[in-house]
Each structure stands twice: as C-alpha cells, then as structure tokens.
Structure 1
C-alpha cells in the first residue's frame, strides 16, 4: 500500500467533511453547518481548501476572499445558498498514530472501523503512546482511541509490540457490548 492508496482510504471516509450552505447576510457571507446548524463567518476559512457544489459536482479550490474561491486559474463567486464543504481535520495524535503503523495494520484498522459504521473522522479522543517511544529499539504498549458517530460510541485499544516481530492487536468495544478483535503479526 503506497501513500496514494492510504490517501484514498482517507478520502472515502464517512463524515470526512463539514458540509453546509452559505448566505449573504448584513454584507457578510455566513456558513451554516448542515449537521450542527451552527453559523460562522465564511471568512474564518480564508486560505483554506474548500469545495463548492456546481454543475452537479464538487469543485475544489482555495477560499481567497470572503465570497471568492480560486479553482485552478478560475475564480468562482459564491452565491446565496451554495452548498460548500471543508475537509475535517484529524486529531493530531490519531494522525501521527496512523502515519506510524505499517500498511497492513493501517488497512485492517480503518476497514474494520468502517465496517462498524465509524470513520476515522469520528475520533473524539486519542492517546498515542507509540509517539513517546520514537527513540526506543523495543516499542511496546497500548494506544487508546474513542470514536463517536452520533449513534454509538466505540473504544479501541491498540496493543503493539515492535521488536523482533511486529505485532498489532486492535480491540474494538461498542457501547452496545459488541466486541471485535483483530491482530496482525509480521515476522
């Protein structure tokens, strides 16, 4: 699995975007989050990647000015009630954890999490013990993650041992009592 394949898994995650619409109110562009119904100034997202839904597809660009999105060499002017979305950011400790595990463990973890109807973007807490062991030859310990998809809670314990063998064990526990364990060992 290369970097591009990993990025594809990030791209297809559920709830990877904050989606909503914009309205021009009192000489300001206001973004209304579809999920939370919260309002915020569109200018809070200046110089960030943003997607606008035009001609039945999402166009990706950079919000350069409140109401102007640069898509390549083109400037798109935002209109009242346009649908827009911004990619959510992962919790930093989870992002570093996902970068630090091998491809097989990464793929198994993400696909198992998805099969339980959770997304990596549902993470509300991550303790990455592995990040404290970067200088160690023998890396052994447990990482803890909590995911909330608005319907259920899932805790994940990632037991790891990286020395002569690479061993990753993920224990998923849902608030319903359902449990799932996956393990990957590489000699």
Structure 2
C-alpha cells in the first residue's frame, strides 16, 4: 500500500467533512455547519481543500480567496446558500501514529474501525507513545485512542513491539461492552 492508497482510504471515511451552507453577511462569508449549527468565518479555511456542490455534483478545489474556490484552472465564485464541504483535520498525534505503522496494520486498523461504524475522523483523543520512541532500537508500548461517532464510544489500545519481529495488536472496546481484538505479526 503506497501513500496514494492510504490517502484514498482517508478520502472514503465517513464524517471526513464539515458540511454546511455559506452566506454573505455584512460583506463577510460565513459558514454554517449543518451538524453542529455553529457559524464560522469562511476565511478561517483559506488555502484549504473544500468541495462545493454545483450542477448536482461536488466540485473539489482550494478556497484561495474569500468567496472564491480554485477548481483546477477554473475559479468558482461562491453564492449565498451554496452547499460546501470542508475537510476535517485529523488529530495530530493520530496522524503521526497512522503514518508510523506499517501498511498491513494500518489497513486492518482502519477497516476494523470502519466495520464498527467509526471513522478515523471520529477521534477525540489519541496518546501516541510510539512518537516518543523514535530513537530507540527496540520500540514497545501502548497507544490509546478514543473515538466518538455521536452514537457510541470506542476505546482502542494499540499494543506494539517493533524489534526482531513487528507486532501490532489492536483492542477495540465499545461502550456497549462489545470487544474486538486484531493482531498483525510480521517476522
């Protein structure tokens, strides 16, 4: 699995976007999040990837100026009440953790999380112990993650040992009591 395949897996995650409408109020573009009903300045998302719904499809682009989205070589002017999606950012420690594990462990972790109806974008807490061991020859320990999909909570413990063999073990525990353990061992 290369970087492109990982990015594709990021792209198909549920709840990867904040979706809502935009309105121009007193000369300022305001984004109204559909889920949280919070308002924020659209300028807060300058130079970020956004999607705008036009002609019955989502158009990908970069918000490069207030009210303007660059889609390839075309500039789209935002209009009042346009439907807009803004990509969420992963928690930094989770992003570093996902970058640090091997492809098989990454794929199994994300697919198992998705099968439990959680997305990597549902992460509300991540302790990445692995990031503190970058200079160690033998790396072992536990990372802790908490996910909230607005219906359930999932706690994940990632036990790892990287020395002569590579061992990744993920223990998923839902607030309902359901537990799931997956392990990947590479010799």
1:75 CA displacement: 1.3
Which is further off, 47-56 or 139-148? 47-56
Deviations 1:52-83 (A, max 9, x none): 11112111112122111111221111111111
Aligned mates of 1:2, 1:64 — CA distance in 2: 29
Aligned mates of 2:92, 2:169 — CA distance in 1: 21
Q: Which runs of 5+ in 2 are unaligned?
A: none
Aligned mates of 1:160, 1:17 — CA distance in 2: 30
Alignment match, 2:123: 123
1:26 CA displacement: 2.1
Which is further off, 174-183 or 68-77? 68-77
Alignment match, 1:176: 176
TM-score by length of 1: 0.97
Query: Are residue 39 (structure 1) and residue 34 (structure 2) matched?
Result: no
Aligned mates of 1:84, 1:150 — CA distance in 2: 22
Deviations 1:153-172 (A, max 9, x none): 00000000011111100000
Q: Which runs of 5+ in 1 are unaligned?
A: none
Aligned mates of 2:105, 2:84 — CA distance in 1: 34
Secondary structure of the corresponding residue to residue 96 of structure 2: helix
Which is further off, 103-112 or 37-46? 37-46
Secondary structure of the corresponding residue to residue 132 of structure 1: helix
Aligned mates of 1:96, 1:64 — CA distance in 2: 27
Alignment match, 2:142: 142
Query: Are residue 3 (structure 1) and residue 22 (structure 2) matched?
Result: no
Alignment match, 1:66: 66
1:48 CA displacement: 1.8
Number of residue pairs matched? Answer: 187
Alignment match, 2:87: 87
Alignment match, 1:53: 53
Question: Where do residues 158-173 of structure 1 align in structure 2 (5 Å cutoff)?
Answer: 158-173=158-173
Aligned mates of 2:56, 2:144 — CA distance in 1: 40
- Runs of 4+ displaced beyond 2 Å: none
1:27 CA displacement: 2.0
TM-score by length of 2: 0.97
Which is further off, 145-154 or 57-66? 57-66
Deviations 1:118-138 (A, max 9, x none): 000000000000011111111
